[in-house]
Amino acid sequence: MTQHAPVFIVLLPLTGSLLCMLFSRISRNLGSYIVMASIAGAFASACLVLQHVLENGGATWHYMMGGWIPPIGIEFALDPLNSILAVLVTFISMLVSLYSRPFVKDEDWLHVGGYYTLFGLLTVGLSGMIITGDVFNLYVYLEIMSLSGYALIALGGRKSMLAAFRYLLIGTIGASLYLLGVGYLYAMTGTLNMADLAQLIIPHLHSPLFAMAVACFLIGFGIKMALFPLHGWQPDAYTYAHPGAAAFIAGLMSKAPAYALIRFIYYIFQVDNPVVESALNVLGILGVCGILIGSVMAMAQYDFRRMLAYSSVAQIGYIAIGLAMGNMYGFIGAVMHIINHAFMKSSLFLVIGGIQYRFGEVNLYRLGGLNKKMAISSITVALAALSMIGLPPTCGFFSKWYLMLGAYTGGEYFYIFVLVISSLLNAIYFFRIIEQMFVQREASLTEVHPHKGKLGLPLPMVIPILIMGIMIIALGFGNATIVTDVIKLGLPGVFLR
C-alpha cells in the first residue's frame, strides 16, 4: 500500500467527508469520528511519502492517477518541500479536528456532520493544492479549499455571514485570475502538467502573454494568501470564523496559495528572467508595506482575534520579501516561515478559541490573571508570542534569521531594517498580551462553559494546545535538521547551478 500513499493524502479525507453526513444521521458523532480517523490516515500517508522521498535522496515521486501518463493524465509530484508541507497540513488538521469536538458537542447531527464534512473538505483542498503536479488540478483543489473555507467562516455566527460573503466575492476574483493565467499558459505550451510547463515555457519567457500570466498568478495568489493590499477579506474572516476551525483557517489557508506561488515562480518559471524579476520586485514592495502596515494595525486592536488577523498580514509580508530576494537564504527563510507561522498562528487561535469557549471573551484587555485559570494555554501564548517576535530558541527566530541572511547576501539591507522594526512592533503588541495574562490582576470573567479541572479546558482542547506549544520549541531546536535534510534537498534548480 505504500506505493499509493500519495493519493491517500487526499483520498482518505475526501472519502471520510463524503461519508460523514450519512453516518452522522445514523449516530450523531459517528461521522465526525470517521473524518478524524481519515485525517489521521492522511497524516500517516504524508509521513510515509516524506520518508520515501528523503530515503531516495530528495528525488521527486511522480504518482500517476489511474496509470495515465502525463501530460494526458493527472499526477501528484512530491519532493522534499511539498512532502513536509503535506505533513504539516494533515498534522495540524488532525489536531484541530480533535480540538473542535467540544464546540459541536451540543449540536444536532446535521450541524455536527456538516461541520466535519466541511472540515474534511478543507483538508482535501489544502493537501491537494500542495501535492498536485497539474496546474488545472490545482485550480480544482483551490476551489475545494475556498468553498469549504467560506462555509466554515459563515458558521461562526451572525457577523461571520458578511465576512464569508466578502471573502467569497474577493476570493472568486482571485480564483478567476488564476484560471485565466492557466489559460494563457495552455495557449502558449499546450500542456497543463507542471514538469512539462517548466520545459515548454522557456521560448515564451519574454512574450507579453507570459507577462500577463505572471501578473494573473501574482494577483490571484496574492488575494488568496492575503498579501497587502489584497487582504481586505482577511481580518473579518479570521475574526468571525467558527472558533473550532479558526486555528486551521488562520494557520494554513494562506500558506497553500503561498506555496503555489513559490512553485510557479521558482520551479516552473525560474527567477532569472526579466518578467519574473519584475514580479519579485513588486512582491517585495508589497511585502514591506504589509509588514509595516499589518504590524501597526495589529497594535490598534483590542479584539484578540482581530489583532492576530492583522498580525498575519505582516507575517505574509515576511514570506513575500523572502521570495522577492531571489536567493537561497531568502527562499529558505520564506519556506521556514510558512512552516513556523502555521504552528505559531494556529496555536494562538487555539488558545483564543479556548478562552472564547470557556468565558465568551475576546477582549485582550479582559485577560488579566488568565495564567491562574488556564496555565497551559497561557504558557503556549507566551511561547507563540516570543516566537512571533523572533526570540531564540523559538522557531520564529530562525526563519527571521534566514531572511536576514538572504537580505545581507543580496545586499538588500533595507529588508533587514524592516525586519528589525517589525520585530520591535511585534514586541509591543505581544508583550501587551503577556502582561495581561501574567502581570495584571485577575479579571472578573463569567464562565460560559464552566470547567473545574486543573487543565482549564476539556482534554480534547488542551492536548492540541499543549502539542502546539511543544512544537514551537521543537521546531526551533530542529531547524537545522529541517533546513539541511529537507528544504535544501528540494531547492529549485536555479540555486543548484
Name the CA radius of gyration of the chain, rounded.
21
Are 167 and 199 in contact by the 8 Å Cβ rule? The answer is no
Q: What is the pLDDT of residues 5-28, one digit of tens each?
A: 889 999 999 999 999 999 989 888
Confidence of residue 478 (pLDDT cuts 50, 70, 90): confident
Are 53 and 78 in contact by the 8 Å Cβ rule? The answer is yes
Q: Which DSSP state fits 327?
A: S
Nine cell digits for residue 150? 467560506
No. of helices (H) and no. of strands (E), the chain: 21, 2
Confidence of residue 496 (pLDDT cuts 50, 70, 90): low
Average pLDDT over the chain reads 88
Nine cell digits for residue 230? 489584497
pLDDT of residue 350: 93
Phi then psi dihedrals of residue 449, to 5 deg = -120, 90
| Residue 177, pLDDT above cutoff 90 | yes
The contacts of residue 402 (CB under 8 Å, 6+ apart) are 322, 329, 330, 332, 333, 336, 483
Span of 27-41, 78-92, 221-235, 480-494 with lowest mean pLDDT: 480-494
Q: What is the pLDDT of residues 448-463, one digit of tens each?
A: 777 776 677 888 899 9
Q: Which DSSP state fits 293?
A: H
Nine cell digits for residue 382? 507566551
pLDDT of residue 88: 94
Q: What residue segments make up the domains of the chain, in order of their start?
A: 1-133, 134-495
Query: Averaged over 416-434, what is the pLDDT?
Result: 89
CA 94 – CA 163 distance, rounded (Å): 26
- The rounded percent of the chain whose pLDDT value lies above 90 is 43
| Residue 445, pLDDT above cutoff 80 | no
